[in-house]
Chain A
Amino acid sequence: TQLLEQSPQFLSIQEGENLTVYCNSSSVFSSLQWYRQEPGEGPVLLVTVVTGGEVKKLKRLTFQFGDARKDSSLHITAAQPGDTGLYLCAGPTTDSWGKFQFGAGTQVVVTP
């Protein structure tokens, strides 16, 4: 089973601070997706990383895919209260097309 481990589980910071969320696996993934989910809503896709070593930027969010495609990180610069949410990483499994593995998520709370 290709497990995805996210750390930390919970992060509480003040507005303006930076934060980093990690997604690690012992298995290789062909791609990894990052989602943000707000309470009572479905996860919203933020980005997909595909190439080992890839860095993608989305405004204040920077996503990195490890060289070996086994890990990924999400860095938020100057966090804002609107960044509050559950951040999930996910990747397609190799044992069955169309099946995805999700991390347990990192709950981020940004207070004004």
Chain B
Amino acid sequence: KAGVTQTPRYLIKTRGQQVTLSCSPISGHRSVSWYQQTPGQGLQFLFEYFSETQRNKGNFPGRFSGRQFSNSRSEMNVSTLELGDSALYLCASRGQAGYNEQFFGPGTRLTVL
């Protein structure tokens, strides 16, 4: 079974621009969560989507948004980029079987200049 895929792997943007990141979960998984990881803050939860609906949201400003499509693929959008948005953005998918485990993609490294 293929794992979680994220595109692109690397991205360089400038302040004020917007960016869209994509995540394809493991086949059959309907839950997709997004995390921001920085050296100072660790892994921070952004939001979770399940069956095209946002089910949970972390404490991030409205510039961070997401959506999920009917095939469970998810996108995350960040508008009006700030220098502090430079981070590794991770997507995790979760199925309904097993022990409620999350499986992560390789991440997208976003650098804001």
Contacts and interface: CB of A to CB of B under 8 A. Distances in A.
B71 to A, nearest CB: 19
Interface of B: prevailing SS:
strand
A56 to B, nearest CB: 11
Contacts of A31: 99-100
B90 A42 contact: yes
A96 B59 CA distance: 14
Contacts of A45: 101-104
A50 interface: yes
A105 B48 CA distance: 22
Interface stretch (B13-21, B62-70, B74-82, B105-113): B105-113
Interface of A: prevailing SS:
loop
A99 B100 contact: no
Contact of A100 (B45, B55, B103): B45
B61 interface: no
Given A43-B104, A50-B99, A98 B90 contact: no
A76 interface: no
Interface of B: 4, 6, 31, 33, 35, 42-43, 45, 48, 50, 55-56, 88, 90, 92, 94, 98-107, 109
